[in-house]
């Protein structure tokens, strides 16, 4: 692990230099975990990796977090932990570690109060976003990372396979979600990230979570669930269920269109094609069947240490896919007030195609 981390730090440093940035400043979050293996708490007190284009890498940490930092891979990576006390100014301390810098990059999720305090401490230094350096690294998964994503995919598939134990007419979405949450952990995740149980008309709202609606016979139900494994990698998979009685004819009709669109996207996605063209392949099929306006969102998002990260599979993203990129393919069709459906798989680009990490049936599953 330390070996992988130090390679990441080397690559980040090379990319920082190439981008004409004097230092990366990375606060707690997925970027910090990716670079150092340290899953630091995001607190009001500043914790910040200072990765200069040249010279020693340091981690600024509040005194009370010092032992946590020292227990992480940070010391083994040769990163000095510089702690600060309650009466010290950590922003001035940060500035003192990057003397002569004219351009620094802060991680994209750094809290605004910290970004502004850094600006105040270094008024002449231009600030830019670190994603330009870190996202291209995080987007290309190593074999070890792909293995972790494969395990996460298998774990969430096991939960979908058990859906018939919990999802039935007469129960509320919230009751079903509680059981799903227990299973997400029991089947191999460390935590639950989200649970969507969209029954009947609620299925037409892509980010509906759960409600106290009682599921009725004949309801189509969108179940989109995900968690994070002990290794820190995320799962995310949507399947569709029909409960108690046959669905209505409109649902059957557009579900077929959706199935074709999602299959065409899986068939098409590979290194060398652009992210937006993957979106277009599915959207064209849904458009020509007359459901274009009902496909309310982008096709997908990258996934790794976070459920949503780059690359985004969306119109206008001309990023050319490269081997080792992990992302979702999840077109949906939503008829407001009636029902909806989404089919979502996580895939990873291989040298000449994709590996699909979710393997349960993509057809809607009838449960009694």
Does 262 interact with Zn ion (rule: CB under 5 A)?
no
Instruction: Give 38 or 295: the residue with its C-beta nearer to Zn ion.
Output: 295
Instruction: Give 27 or 328: the residue with its C-beta nearer to Zn ion.
Output: 328
Exposure class string for 233-264: b at 16+ Cβ within 10 A, else e: bbbbbbbbbbbbeebeeebeebbebbbebbeb
The contacts of residue 113 (CB under 8 Å, 6+ apart) are: 44
CA distance 308 to 344: 14
Q: Is the previous residue joined to 36 through a cis bond, with omega within 30 degrees of 0?
A: no
Closest CA to 345 of 189, 205, 160, 218: 160
Binding window for Zn ion (CB under 5 A); candidates: 53-61, 74-82, 223-231, 315-323: 223-231
By CB under 5 A, the residues from 327 to 346 that bind Zn ion are: 328, 344
Instruction: Give 122 or 321: the residue with its C-beta nearer to Zn ion.
Output: 321
- Angle of the 249-268 helix axis to the 275-288 helix axis, nearest 10: 150
Does 236 interact with Zn ion (rule: CB under 5 A)?
yes
Does 199 interact with Zn ion (rule: CB under 5 A)?
no
Closest CA to 309 of 138, 104, 60: 138
Binding window for Zn ion (CB under 5 A); candidates: 59-67, 172-180, 200-208, 229-237: 229-237
Binding window for Zn ion (CB under 5 A); candidates: 41-49, 50-58, 65-73, 233-241: 233-241
Please, what is the minimum distance in Å from the beta carbon of residue 13 to Zn ion?
A: 32
Among 145, 173, 224, 310, binds Zn ion (CB under 5 A): 224
CA distance 139 to 351: 15
Please, what is the minimum distance in Å from the beta carbon of residue 342 to Zn ion?
A: 8
Does 279 interact with Zn ion (rule: CB under 5 A)?
no
CA distance 355 to 368: 32
Contacts with Zn ion by CB under 5 A: the residue count is: 5
Instruction: Give 110 or 341: the residue with its C-beta nearer to Zn ion.
Output: 341
Instruction: Give 148 or 342: the residue with its C-beta nearer to Zn ion.
Output: 342
Instruction: Give 122 or 313: the residue with its C-beta nearer to Zn ion.
Output: 313
Give 123: exposed, middle or buried? Use CB within 10 Å, 0-12, 13-18, 19+. exposed
Binding positions for Zn ion, rule: CB under 5 A: 224, 236, 238, 328, 344
């Amino acid at each position: 692990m330390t070996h992988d981390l130090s390679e990441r730090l080397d690559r980040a440093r090379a990319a920082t230099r190439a981008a004409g940035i004097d230092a990366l400043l990375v606060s707690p979050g997925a970027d910090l975990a990716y670079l150092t293996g340290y899953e630091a708490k995001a607190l009001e007190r500043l914790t910040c990796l200072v990765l200069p284009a040249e010279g020693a890498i340091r981690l600024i940490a509040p005194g009370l977090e010092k032992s946590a930092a020292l227990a992480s891979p940070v010391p083994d990576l040769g990163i000095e932990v510089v702690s600060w006390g309650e009466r010290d100014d950590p922003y001035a301390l940060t500035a003192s570690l990057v003397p002569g810098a004219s351009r620094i990059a802060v991680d994209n999720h750094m809290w605004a109060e910290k970004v502004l305090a850094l600006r105040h401490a270094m008024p002449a230094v231009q600030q830019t976003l670190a994603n330009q350096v870190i996202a291209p690294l995080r987007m290309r998964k190593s074999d070890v990372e792909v293995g972790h994503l494969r395990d996460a995919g298998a774990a969430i598939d096991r939960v979908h396979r058990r859906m018939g134990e919990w999802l039935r007419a007469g129960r509320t979405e919230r009751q079903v979600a509680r059981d799903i949450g227990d299973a997400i952990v029991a089947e191999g995740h460390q935590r639950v990230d989200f649970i969507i149980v969209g029954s009947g008309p609620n299925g037409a709202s892509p980010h509906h979570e759960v409600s106290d609606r009682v599921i009725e016979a004949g309801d189509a139900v969108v179940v989109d669930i995900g968690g994070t494994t002990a290794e820190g990698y995320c799962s995310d998979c949507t399947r569709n269920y029909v409960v108690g009685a046959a669905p209505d004819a409109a649902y059957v009709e557009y579900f077929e269109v959706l199935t074709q669109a999602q299959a065409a996207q899986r068939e098409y996605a590979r290194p060398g094609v652009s992210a937006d063209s993957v979106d277009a392949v599915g959207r064209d099929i849904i458009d020509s069947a007359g459901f274009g306006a009902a496909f309310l969102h982008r096709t997908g998002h990258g996934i790794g240490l976070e459920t949503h990260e780059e690359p985004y599979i969306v119109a206008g993203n001309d990023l050319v896919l490269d081997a080792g990129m992990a992302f979702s393919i999840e077109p949906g069709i939503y008829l407001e007030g009636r029902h909806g459906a989404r089919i979502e798989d996580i895939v990873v680009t291989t040298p000449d195609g994709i590996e699909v990490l979710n393997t349960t049936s993509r057809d809607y599953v009838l449960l009694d």
